[in-house]
Chain A
Amino acid sequence: MRGSATRHPTGVGWTMDRQDVHLETCSLTQNPLRKIWTPCKNGLPEAPIFQRRVCMTNCPTLIVTVGLPARGKTYISKKLTRYLNWIGVPTKEFNVGQYRRDFLKIYKSFEFFRTDNEEGLKIRRQCALSALSDVHQYLTGGGGQVAVFDATNTTRERRATIVRFAEQNGFKVFFVESVCDDPEVIAANIVQVKLGSPDYINCNSEEAVEDFMKRIECYKTSYQPLDEVLDRDLSYIKVMDVGLRFLVNRVLDHIQSRIVYYLMNIHITPRSIYLCRHGESDLNIQGRIGGDSGLSDRGRDFGQGLRKFIEEQQIKELKVWTSQMKRTIQTAEVLGVPYEQWKALNEIDAGVCEEMMYEEIQDSFPLEFAMRDQDKYRYRYPKGESYEDLVQRLEPVIMELERQENVLVVCHQAVMRCLLAYFLDKGAEELPYLKCPLHTVLKLTPVAYGCKVESVCLQVEAVNTHRTRPENVNAQRSTEEALQTVPDHF
């Protein structure tokens, strides 16, 4: 009696969907990589089951931006895409402006956007349809869950087209409108992201600004903002004055609710986020993972170095966060400033492998060790966690980091990799191998659509704890092959 693995309404992956009544409770087998229990028959798993990550909608979601140029639509699109991918929702953005640039190759002037430019209108419409076609492909077979359709979409007519397209394909639609009339915000926007646009490569600043302002004018007369009455049946969030006020209408499901929550927590006030690990610990020196040991002498020196560094940076109202493990707290103590302890920042739980050396893990659990190398992101230690679990655990931390301004996070290797991957938009494959050495501070400063990273090595010696993926990840490999990339330790 096989159960069918169907795409269940609430699951991103599959849930168990039985067709026949199965009174004899079948046995379960535990997936060796993720340690998930699944029903099995004749020793083989019956259908793949994924642990619940984010509650998915039944059908894919199309997010549609709305707003005049320079209102932050692309900023929001990229940021939202980055967040959704990080929490495990496959998301992709489709920027119609980019389609236009690819099609036209050369941008002459704002005249292209004039409402009486028939040729221009035709091309723009074509680009929008081309983008929608790619959206369709992404959401219906390309493995996508959410597509962000980033364009002005300022007329009701254009939006109606998109809604029809979505309905035909079984996508839910959620509009994100950005409304802003603060001239300072718009000017700053233009400076940050428009001047550097491929459209204005051959212009000086003044020319670019002037042309862009005229471009905005082209849209203004035909702009129909989302209306409380006329658009009352649509699902949308209207973001006003860069987050001062929000109007939220008809949130339909979990993912839309999460999107609203996220959009309501982000801000654009300039600030920096400092990420670093605890100082070198006693277990680090021994080449052992996990545990709750204290700092080594060199680790304490790092604390001193960190304190000096922070003082020199002269950061306004710096918040300091640590985990609840001794080594991060000891590091923060040296700083001489108030700090907050977060359990969510604790290092990945290595379960039965806690406090073991890689050599010992290879010795006692060679299969586990190999599986970890095969899929380090999804691999869960027996009675422990996976990077995938870590990301879920860290989501509230990321949400609060978005709310805050200047923050220093003193954490751990795996944790820092997860946080870094969020800020630098690194995928699940790269994340577990990001380099986060001891005694190095990463200063992240949001700029344009991304994040500037400055790496500051505080010049205090420490062991290397970074083990790269070995060539041979096969379960039958030799001990030598398994331990090939283990970093030196005492």
Chain B
Amino acid sequence: MLKSDHVTVPTAKTSRLLHRNTRDPGTVPGHRARSGMENKPASNPAKARELTQNPLKKIWMPYKNGLPEKHTSQRKVCMTNCPTLIVTVGLPARGKTYISKKLTRYLNWIGVPTREFNVGQYRRDYMKIYKSFEFFRPDNEEGLKIRQHCASAALNDVRQYLSDEGGQVAVFDATNTTRERRRTIFQFAKQNGFKVFFVESVCEDPHVIQENIVQVKLGSPDYTNCNTEEAVSDFMKRIQCYENSYQTLDEVLDRDLSYIKIMDVGRRYLVNRVLDHIQSRIVYYLMNIHITPRSIYLCRHGESELNIKGRIGGDSGLSARGKEFAKLLSQFIAAQGISDLKVWTSQMKRTIQTAEALDVPYEQWKVLNEIDAGVCEEMMYEEIQESHPLEFALRDQDKYRYRYPKGESYEDLVQRLEPAIMELERQENVLVICHQAVMRCLLAYFLDKTAEELPYLKCPLHTVLKLTPVAYGCKVESICLSAEAVNTHRERPENVNVHRTTEDALRTLPDHF
């Protein structure tokens, strides 16, 4: 039973602090039991502690005097004992920043607080103006000093992020092409109790390098005032500055380091000494991504019978307007002329009915099913407010972490969807016909949206989002195929207090029949 008077609902911020204060007496001093939280044993183990269920996440945890004893969180990703420093290695234009940003985005999405530190950016902030490649000449003493200073400043911020700000992984994005520089970083990490994992990108294919320069260098702040030819010429000379002193990770000399060497944009990999779960996941991710141009289409099923009634969840069929949408979707897809399009649906009737109209093969994924609303399945928001006002308020307080009784949370959804994201990375052109909460999670991954934003992303019925990777991010085109559908988007109301009135609670309810 929920004791709404006694139980404090932990906010995201306090929960993080509680995480970091937890010590597992069994581990080596200096290591923290991190966010894959572990429960601390009772002082008197013979008497088992009573359990209470956290009202937001529905997690059972031990309590004392009516208050939770320790904040626990369900296991998300198996954490290492200590933070991890990922260090990129490679000549300019080998995709280090592309990898850094993508990896950071992925890790944050699966719940591992990650941040990238781009030394080039530190240099730009420091220097303000970039003159030419001469800055990078190995005999430019002044340049070397400044670059060293920038690297140190970045490492300082890394330390702060990992030791003081609750970061779990930091990605140190720079060329790091000399063994000496890497040794400095390794020592820094050791002093601070961080694990180090190197990610080297090696590529000699001139086409790839050229394409890289066009995609991300021409638009760089460094080349704002240059024309294309000048920029390319300067950048090629910049690469040359590094080539002479480049010491690639060596199978023998660097055999004690943990690293992955990516060769020719993923054709070949050398993986050395993977130490823990997070490194294993990073390797798996890096081995599945590619840079072949393609587009991902996301949309929801057509309007359903339950949508019309303002009811959530369930497994109803399409309304007449929903069937119309399916036909329009079919025409849209045909008009796009996409080569080798894969179509994925969930296992719920409404997405399958939508796909059926496309007249192409499709695959059903159970993990794409809509969020399970547990006891609230097939209810209207008005009914939820009436029978579960506390639940309704908790959901508004923290929509990402809130788990329906006997149901799921957005946080659970993300974990469930991870294999779908991994397969989307492997694939090329894909159309995913799914559901509102599911689409929000997928979209948040591609557009790097935070846990706070995710549950409020706008994913209206009958609108297709076309995502095309470009430069370091994703271009989004929104195509509304039909204006005729109910709105299912409920904004966060102003008053999220458990004692609010029904009126306050239902203020942002979209209309329905």
Interface centre among B36, B41, B342 (most CB of A within 10 A): B41
Q: How many Å lie between the Cα of A120 and that of B24 in the bound state?
A: 60
With A16-B361, A28-B353 as contacts: A245 and B272 at CB distance below 8 Å: yes
Contact bitstring A11-38, B, C-beta under 8 A = 1, else 0: 1000111100111011010100001110
Q: How many Å lie between the Cα of A389 and that of B365 in the bound state?
A: 11
Q: How many Å lie between the Cα of A321 and that of B274 in the bound state?
A: 23
For B288, the chain A residues whose CB sits under 8 A away are: 257
Chain B interface helix/strand/loop/mixed: loop
Q: How many Å lie between the Cα of A83 and that of B362 in the bound state?
A: 27
For A222, the chain B residues whose CB sits under 8 A away are: none
For A15, the chain B residues whose CB sits under 8 A away are: 361-363
* Residue of A51, A244, A330, A338 touching B41 (CB-CB under 8 A): A338
* Residue of A246, A332, A343 touching B269 (CB-CB under 8 A): A246
For A336, the chain B residues whose CB sits under 8 A away are: 41-42, 45-46
Which residue of A has the minimal Cβ distance to B280?
A265
Is B287's CB under 8 angstroms from A257's CB? yes
Measured CB to CB, the closest approach of chain B to A162, in angstroms, equals 21
Query: Does B154 sit within 8 A of A, measured CB to CB?
Result: no
For A300, the chain B residues whose CB sits under 8 A away are: 48
For A52, the chain B residues whose CB sits under 8 A away are: 344, 363-366
For B26, the chain A residues whose CB sits under 8 A away are: 317, 337-338
Interface centre among B48, B327, B406 (most CB of A within 10 A): B48
Measured CB to CB, the closest approach of chain B to A46, in angstroms, equals 10
For B357, the chain A residues whose CB sits under 8 A away are: 23, 25
Is A16's CB under 8 angstroms from B356's CB? yes
Q: How many Å lie between the Cα of A265 and that of B280 in the bound state?
A: 7
Is A338's CB under 8 angstroms from B33's CB? yes
Interface centre among A18, A51, A339, A340 (most CB of B within 10 A): A340
For B38, the chain A residues whose CB sits under 8 A away are: 338-340
Query: Does B62 sit within 8 A of A, measured CB to CB?
Result: yes
Query: Does B481 sit within 8 A of A, measured CB to CB?
Result: no
* Residue of B72, B272, B276 touching A244 (CB-CB under 8 A): B272
With A300-B48, A338-B41, A340-B38 as contacts: A257 and B426 at CB distance below 8 Å: yes
For B365, the chain A residues whose CB sits under 8 A away are: 51-52
Measured CB to CB, the closest approach of chain B to A392, in angstroms, equals 7
Query: Does A326 sit within 8 A of B, measured CB to CB?
Result: yes
For B277, the chain A residues whose CB sits under 8 A away are: 400, 403
Interface residues of B in 390-419 (CB under 8 A from A): 406, 412, 415
For A245, the chain B residues whose CB sits under 8 A away are: 251, 255, 270-273
For A51, the chain B residues whose CB sits under 8 A away are: 347, 364-366
* Residue of A39, A303, A389 touching B48 (CB-CB under 8 A): A303
Query: Does A264 sit within 8 A of B, measured CB to CB?
Result: yes
Interface residues of A in 31-63 (CB under 8 A from B): 35-37, 39, 49, 51-52, 55
Measured CB to CB, the closest approach of chain B to A20, in angstroms, equals 8
The segment out of A65-73, A111-119, A123-131, A248-256 that lies at the interface is A248-256
Query: Does B284 sit within 8 A of A, measured CB to CB?
Result: yes
Is B273's CB under 8 angstroms from A340's CB? no
Contact bitstring A314-355, B, C-beta under 8 A = 1, else 0: 000100010011100110111111111111000000000010
Interface centre among A26, A30, A343, A392 (most CB of B within 10 A): A343
Is A55's CB under 8 angstroms from B287's CB? no
Interface residues of B in 17-45 (CB under 8 A from A): 24, 26, 33, 36-42, 45
Query: Does B449 sit within 8 A of A, measured CB to CB?
Result: no
For A261, the chain B residues whose CB sits under 8 A away are: 280, 284, 287
Interface centre among A16, A342, A389 (most CB of B within 10 A): A16
For A474, the chain B residues whose CB sits under 8 A away are: none
Q: How many Å lie between the Cα of A26 and that of B15 in the bound state?
A: 50
Query: Does A230 sit within 8 A of B, measured CB to CB?
Result: no
Which residue of B has the minimal Cβ distance to A246?
B271
Query: Does A156 sit within 8 A of B, measured CB to CB?
Result: no
Is B45's CB under 8 angstroms from A334's CB? yes
* Residue of B60, B318, B347, B352 touching A329 (CB-CB under 8 A): B60
Query: Does A426 sit within 8 A of B, measured CB to CB?
Result: no
Is B37's CB under 8 angstroms from A340's CB? yes
* Residue of A247, A294, A335, A341 touching B59 (CB-CB under 8 A): A341
Contact bitstring B32-72, A, C-beta under 8 A = 1, else 0: 01001111111001101101010000111010000000001
Measured CB to CB, the closest approach of chain A to B392, in angstroms, equals 21
Is A337's CB under 8 angstroms from B41's CB? yes
Query: Does A452 sit within 8 A of B, measured CB to CB?
Result: no
Is A55's CB under 8 angstroms from B39's CB? no
Is B268's CB under 8 angstroms from A247's CB? yes
For B348, the chain A residues whose CB sits under 8 A away are: 37
Q: How many Å lie between the Cα of A356 and that of B75 in the bound state?
A: 29
Query: Does B421 sit within 8 A of A, measured CB to CB?
Result: no
Is B287's CB under 8 angstroms from A324's CB? no
Measured CB to CB, the closest approach of chain B to A490, in angstroms, equals 23
Is B361's CB under 8 angstroms from A8's CB? yes
For B359, the chain A residues whose CB sits under 8 A away are: 18, 21-22
Size of A's binding interface in residues, CB under 8 A: 69
Query: Does B423 sit within 8 A of A, measured CB to CB?
Result: yes
Is B274's CB under 8 angstroms from A264's CB? yes
Query: Does A260 sit within 8 A of B, measured CB to CB?
Result: yes
Interface centre among B37, B59, B78 (most CB of A within 10 A): B78
* Residue of B37, B280, B327, B347 touching A403 (CB-CB under 8 A): B280
Is B74's CB under 8 angstroms from A343's CB? yes
Q: How many Å lie between the Cα of A325 and that of B53 in the bound state?
A: 10
Q: How many Å lie between the Cα of A326 and that of B60 in the bound state?
A: 6
Is A28's CB under 8 angstroms from B59's CB? no
Query: Does A307 sit within 8 A of B, measured CB to CB?
Result: yes
Q: How many Å lie between the Cα of A303 and that of B48 in the bound state?
A: 9
Q: How many Å lie between the Cα of A300 and that of B48 in the bound state?
A: 9
Q: How many Å lie between the Cα of A228 and that of B365 in the bound state?
A: 38
Is A247's CB under 8 angstroms from B317's CB? no
For A228, the chain B residues whose CB sits under 8 A away are: 268
Query: Does B323 sit within 8 A of A, measured CB to CB?
Result: yes
Measured CB to CB, the closest approach of chain A to B395, in angstroms, equals 18
Q: How many Å lie between the Cα of A342 and that of B359 in the bound state?
A: 40
Interface residues of B in 227-282 (CB under 8 A from A): 251, 255, 267-274, 276-277, 280
Is A392's CB under 8 angstroms from B60's CB? no
Q: How many Å lie between the Cα of A129 and that of B327 in the bound state?
A: 53
Which residue of B has the minimal Cβ distance to A22?
B359
Query: Does A155 sit within 8 A of B, measured CB to CB?
Result: no
Query: Does B454 sit within 8 A of A, measured CB to CB?
Result: no
For B287, the chain A residues whose CB sits under 8 A away are: 248, 251, 257, 260-261
Query: Does B326 sit within 8 A of A, measured CB to CB?
Result: yes
Measured CB to CB, the closest approach of chain A to B41, in angstroms, equals 4
Query: Does B16 sit within 8 A of A, measured CB to CB?
Result: no
Is B284's CB under 8 angstroms from A324's CB? no
Is B40's CB under 8 angstroms from A392's CB? no
Query: Does A445 sit within 8 A of B, measured CB to CB?
Result: no
Contact surface of A with B, Cβ cutoff 8 Å? 8, 10-11, 15-18, 21-23, 25-26, 28, 30, 35-37, 39, 49, 51-52, 55, 228, 232, 244-251, 254, 257, 260-261, 264-265, 292, 294, 300, 303-304, 307, 317, 321, 324-326, 329-330, 332-343, 354, 383, 389, 392, 400, 403
10 new A-B contacts at CB < 8 Å, known A246-B270, A343-B415: A17-B361, A30-B349, A37-B364, A232-B268, A304-B46, A324-B59, A326-B60, A338-B41, A340-B36, A383-B377
Q: Please list the 9 inter-chain residue pairs (A to B) with the smallest Cβ-Cβ separation, ordered nearest first.
A: A336-B45, A338-B38, A246-B271, A15-B361, A248-B269, A336-B41, A333-B48, A334-B48, A52-B363
For this complex, 17 residue pairs linking A to B, each with C-beta atoms less than 8 Å apart, are A16-B355, A16-B361, A18-B360, A28-B349, A35-B347, A37-B352, A52-B365, A246-B270, A248-B270, A249-B269, A254-B426, A257-B284, A325-B60, A334-B48, A338-B26, A343-B415, A383-B377
